[in-house]
Amino acid sequence: MPQKKGKILIVDDNEELLIAFKFFLSKHFDKISTIKNPNLIPEYLGKESYDIILLDMNFKAGVNTGNEGIFWMKQILEKDPNASVVLITAYGDVELAVNAMKEGAADFIQKSWDEEKILSTILSAYNLRLSKLKIENLEQKQKHLSEKIDSKFSNIIGESAAMKAVFNMIEKVSITDANVLILGENGTGKEVIAREIHRKSKRANEVFVNVDIGALQENLFESELFGHTKGSFTDAKEDRAGRFEIASGGTLFLDEIGNLPLQLQSKLLTAIQNKEICRVGSNKPISVDIRLICATNKNPDEMVEKSTFREDLLYRINTIKINLPPLRERGEDIVLLADFFLVKYTDKYNKPNLKFNLNTISKIKQYSWPGNIRELQHSIEKAVILCDEKIILPGHLWSEGEKQQKNTAPKTFNLDENEKSLIEKAIQKYKGNISSAAKELGINRSTLYKKMEKYGI
């Protein structure tokens, strides 16, 4: 015999029926409680959580409207929205049953004794209860996960004019469903901005799906974004939804979209235009409702000029453009961010008394931070870990070897290493002005962009 599970509360003024129900159902369920007076329902529900409540529809002699049962059913569901209430009636009134179901009943049984039908109905109600609890648990886990992720990406800090302009744009854009393109160097916080737009949008309670285009294998692009059917290729052992389907109702963030090969851009454009996709191996269109946010560290206009990015796709993803400034152009924000990360990591590593001295703060402000916020964050985490005193010194942030690498000319004869170092120094010297850096290096701007891409600058 399968293991007995579940708790049932039976409420009926007929004591013989209560005894019969208890005897019959005790073979299948772990706990059976019975009461004759419905006024005791709140007391019982206050002490125990029941999976199923079998509830008589009429308690007063001569009354057969079902109103009493519906009243108590509403009281039960108000206290426990996931409860499965099965109403009992001596009258085979289909209309009464339908009305009860509309009001929230899980099902309806008659007092005419049909054990097979009664058990089938109650087991179905029990499974319904388990499904409701599972969904509630998943929703709570999703909410917790979203909150954890949002807290991880909550480093939107800034008082500089450049960031105030970004904040203002976020406020305006978030309330719409307009497609957004976020531009900025690596480490400037493009995903942080995308999540903030989602968090402030009308889709905030729906899913945020992040896709790193640069990390997708070209041959798996369609499968990852649009899904596939079982048997559509060698490893397709089951049907699978793609990122577009998963994100439907919420926000889809395509990070580093500038890395999308030209031959795949038309497929993405078609999905965005038609608001529908077809899984690999299927011709059946699936409608999707997404809010699209894209990001890249490349210059999309120059990519269009070079015919490496479709102009029509750029128009589709570029309804609103947000330019994220590099950290070197956010002078007022550098120390704010440094203090924020210091608090975060002194708490994480239980070193509450650590401080920056004036010399360290000065060095932090002077350094160009080519890796932007990401580099600043990692440097301060490392400093907190390494510092055994109460004061964080510059040496905790940068080792001697790193200082040499960052602040002196390269001493190797490796052409690529020297060229990368010279390009980085030129960009730092002109604070990210690519035209001026290219002029200093004696090359044109497009050549500099190619070299930056080559060296991952």
Buried-exposed string 268-292: b where 16+ CB fall within 10 A, e elsewhere: bbebbeeeebbbbbeeeebebebbb
Three-state DSSP class for residue 289:
coil
Asked whether 333 and 153 are in contact (CB, 8 A), the reply is no
What is d(CA 101, CA 28) in angstroms, rounded to the nearest whole number?
Answer: 25
Exposed / middle / buried, residue 457 (Cβ in 10 Å: 0-12, 13-18, 19+):
middle
Asked whether 73 and 100 are in contact (CB, 8 A), the reply is yes
Matching residue, tokens 């070079």 = 306
CB atoms within 10 A of CB 70: 21
| Helix, strand, coil percentages in the chain from 3-state DSSP, rounded to 5 | 55, 15, 35
Residue 452: DSSP 8-state: H
Three-state DSSP class for residue 323:
strand
What is d(CA 226, CA 250) in angstroms, rounded to the nearest whole number?
Answer: 16
What is d(CA 314, CA 304) in angstroms, rounded to the nearest whole number?
Answer: 8
The pLDDT tens digits along the chain (457 residues) read: 455 678 899 998 888 888 888 888 888 888 899 998 889 998 888 888 888 999 888 777 656 667 788 888 888 888 888 888 888 876 556 667 677 777 788 887 877 777 787 888 888 888 888 887 777 666 655 554 555 555 454 557 888 999 999 999 999 999 999 999 999 999 999 999 999 999 999 999 889 999 999 888 888 888 899 988 887 776 777 878 889 999 999 999 999 999 999 989 999 999 999 999 999 888 888 899 999 999 999 999 999 999 999 999 999 999 999 999 999 999 889 999 999 999 999 999 999 889 999 999 999 999 999 999 999 999 999 999 999 888 999 989 987 545 534 443 344 445 555 777 788 888 877 777 787 787 777 787 777 877 877 777 7
* pLDDT attached to residue 400: 56
* DSSP calls for 209-231: EEEEGGGS-GGGHHHHHHEE-TT
Cα–Cα distance list, 403 to 31, 396, 400, 408, 457 (Å): 71, 11, 5, 8, 18
What is d(CA 127, CA 33) in angstroms, rounded to the nearest whole number?
Answer: 19
Token pair for 255: 């990070």
* pLDDT attached to residue 119: 86
* pLDDT attached to residue 413: 44
Cβ neighbours for 177, distance < 8 A, ≥ 6 positions apart: 201, 202, 291
What is d(CA 33, CA 44) in angstroms, rounded to the nearest whole number?
Answer: 9
* pLDDT attached to residue 75: 87
CA dihedral 178, 183, 186, 192 (to 10 degrees): -30
Which domains, from first to last, does the chain contain?
Answer: 7-135 (3.40.50.2300), 175-323 (3.40.50.300), 327-396 (1.10.8.60), 409-455 (1.10.10.60)
| C-alpha closest to that of 369 among 358, 380, 359 | 380
Q: Is the dihedral of CA 71, 73, 78, 79 positive or negative?
A: positive
Cβ neighbours for 135, distance < 8 A, ≥ 6 positions apart: none
| C-alpha closest to that of 343 among 158, 163, 155 | 155
Neighbour order of strands in the sheet with 291-296? 208-212, 251-255, 291-296, 180-183, 320-323
* pLDDT attached to residue 411: 42
What is d(CA 452, CA 370) in angstroms, rounded to the nearest whole number?
Answer: 12
* CA atoms within a 13 Å half-sphere pointing along the CA-CB vector of 323: 7
Predicted TM-score (pTM) above 0.75: no
